[in-house]
């Protein structure tokens, strides 16, 4: 008998302050795989880490995998066992499979159906392969979930009606400053969400955008997008604090990249809107208490996202039918391969009959 389980912390069950404690950086993921291999309890492992969730999927030969995963989170991230117990959600067998398919499709995302999560699931799978963490069962599970998500995106129009996290962030900024005309912005970090933010800022007719990143080639790439984008060295970002009306930050740093002391020394008292899309957070929270500063964080996105969901539910329900079909196909593969997997082998499509759509 093989045992499939996942354990994780996400935005639905845990506050931002908790999630950032268990966020896997790239180096942390490598260390996690090394620790798991040394301990020798789990046979296969894949780790998903995004701004809204931290999840570990595993296969073991013992039915103690849930306890192991809870203890792993507590020891690896050095968090209190009670805090881990209160925030970690565990799923086993079929529930873990069904959950992953929904995650890959963005059906468990803060913004229903958002695109970025599929790339993050692909990255998680690639990272597991690189660290020799996954095996036959999880490889097929993740490949099937990724393939299903691609099919849902081409079969439904959910993607067309979805709004990205970055777009909602820009909407929050718009409510704060009213107009982008004549305004200047600083964008810190040049990952996917930051690049989307650049496009939205440009479409709003912003006057100038300063961009910065630790990798200089990314700055050069960003400068080529438009004439009013200017790159600055990461260490010099503070020099433009007093000139800008908007600061958007989304890096993968495990610590603050904009500190209160540095900020106060280099800003004036004009109105400033800040958007922190990172996890762990990039901007020291105390900055939001400074007069004239409005600071939005990733959890503020949730409030607007919930208002926009109703019109996407029809497409969501279409997508969920495809998800259910492909989940059963994965179960069929498990049976065809002769793999005994906890609570999965006797599953049929009838399991979905009692389910109620959101």
pLDDT of 278-318, one tens digit each?
Answer: 999 999 999 999 999 999 999 888 777 776 666 678 889 99
State residue 161's pLDDT score.
59
**C-alpha to C-alpha distance for 48 and 116, rounded to whole angstroms:** 13
Cβ partners under 8 Å of residue 349, min gap 6: 324, 325, 328
Is there a binding annotation on residue 199?
Answer: no
Return the beta strands (E) in the chain as ranges. Answer: 3-10, 42-49, 53-60, 89-92, 184-188, 208-212, 229-231, 246-249, 272-276, 293-297
Across 320-337, average pLDDT: 96
Q: Can you read off the two tokens belonging to residue 233? A: 């060295």
Give the C-alpha separation, 225 to 220, whole Å: 9
- At residue 114, the pLDDT reads 84
Ramachandran assignment for 40, one of left (phi > 0), alpha (psi -120 to 50 degrees), beta (any other)? left
CATH 3.30.460.30 holds for 3-160+311-352? yes
Q: Domain coordinates of the chain in residue numbers?
A: 3-160+311-352, 165-307
Helix pair angle (165-177, 192-203), 10° resolution = 40
DSSP 3-state assignment of 351?
helix
The answer to whether 50 is a known ligand-binding residue is yes
Question: Which pLDDT value is given to residue 193?
Answer: 86
Residue with tokens 């890096």: 251
276 vs 250: CA distance, rounded Å: 6
Name residues whose C-beta falls within 8 Å of residue 329's C-beta, 6 or more positions apart in sequence. Answer: 144
pLDDT greater than 90 at residue 99: yes
Architecture in CATH for domain 165-307: 3-Layer(aba) Sandwich (3.40)
The pLDDT tens digits of the residues spanning 209-232 come to 999 999 989 999 999 999 999 999
* Average pLDDT value for residue range 243-264: 94
Residue 248 bridge partners (DSSP):
187, 275
Mean pLDDT value across the chain: 92
pLDDT at site 297: 94
Residue 53 annotated in ligand binding: yes
Alpha-carbon gap, residue 264 to 269, rounded angstroms: 9
Say whether pLDDT at 327 is over 80.
Answer: yes
Q: What are phi and psi of 222, to 5 degrees?
A: -65, -40
193 assigned binding-site residue: yes
Residue-level pLDDT at 357: 46
Counting every residue, how long is the chain? 358
**What digits encode the pLDDT tens for the residues 133-170?**
999 999 999 999 999 999 999 998 876 655 678 888 89
Phi first, then psi, for residue 8 (nearest 5°) are -165, 170
Whether 267 is catalytic is no
Predicted confidence band of residue 110 (pLDDT cuts 50, 70, 90): confident
Residue 192 labeled ligand binder: yes
What is the percentage of the chain residues whose pLDDT exceeds 70?
Answer: 96
């Amino acid at each position: 008998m093989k045992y499939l389980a996942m354990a994780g912390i996400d935005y639905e069950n845990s506050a931002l302050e908790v999630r950032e404690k268990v966020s896997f950086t790239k180096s942390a993921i490598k260390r996690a795989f090394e620790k798991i291999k040394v301990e020798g309890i789990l046979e296969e492992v894949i780790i998903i880490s995004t701004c809204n969730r931290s999840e570990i999927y595993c296969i073991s030969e013992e039915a103690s995998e849930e306890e192991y995963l809870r203890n792993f989170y507590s020891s690896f991230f050095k968090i209190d066992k009670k805090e881990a117990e209160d925030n970690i959600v565990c799923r086993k067998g079929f529930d873990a499979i069904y959950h992953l398919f929904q995650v890959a499709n963005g059906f468990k995302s803060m913004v229903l159906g958002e695109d970025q999560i599929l790339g993050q699931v692909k990255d998680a799978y690639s990272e597991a392969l690189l660290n020799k963490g996954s095996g036959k069962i999880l490889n097929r599970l993740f490949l099937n979930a990724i393939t299903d998500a691609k099919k849902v995106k081409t079969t439904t129009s959910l993607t067309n009606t979805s709004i990205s996290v970055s777009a909602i962030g820009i909407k929050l900024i718009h409510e704060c400053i009213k107009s982008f005309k004549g305004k200047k912005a600083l964008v810190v970090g040049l990952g996917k969400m930051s690049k989307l933010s650049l496009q939205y800022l440009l479409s709003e007719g912003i006057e100038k955008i300063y961009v910065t990143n630790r990798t200089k080639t990314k700055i050069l790439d960003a400068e080529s997008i438009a004439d009013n984008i200017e790159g600055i060295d990461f260490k010099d970002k503070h020099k433009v604090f007093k000139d800008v009306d908007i600061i958007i930050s989304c890096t993968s740093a495990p610590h603050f990249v904009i500190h209160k002391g540095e900020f106060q020394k280099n800003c004036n008292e004009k109105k400033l809107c800040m958007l922190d899309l990172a996890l762990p957070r990039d901007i020291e929270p105390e900055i939001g208490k400074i007069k004239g500063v409005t600071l939005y964080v990733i959890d503020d996105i949730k409030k607007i996202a919930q208002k926009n969901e109703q019109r996407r539910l029809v497409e969501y329900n279409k997508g969920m039918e495809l998800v259910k079909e492909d989940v059963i196909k994965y179960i069929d593969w498990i049976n065809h391969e002769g793999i005994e997997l906890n609570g999965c082998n006797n599953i049929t499509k009838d399991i979905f009959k009692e389910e109620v759509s959101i």
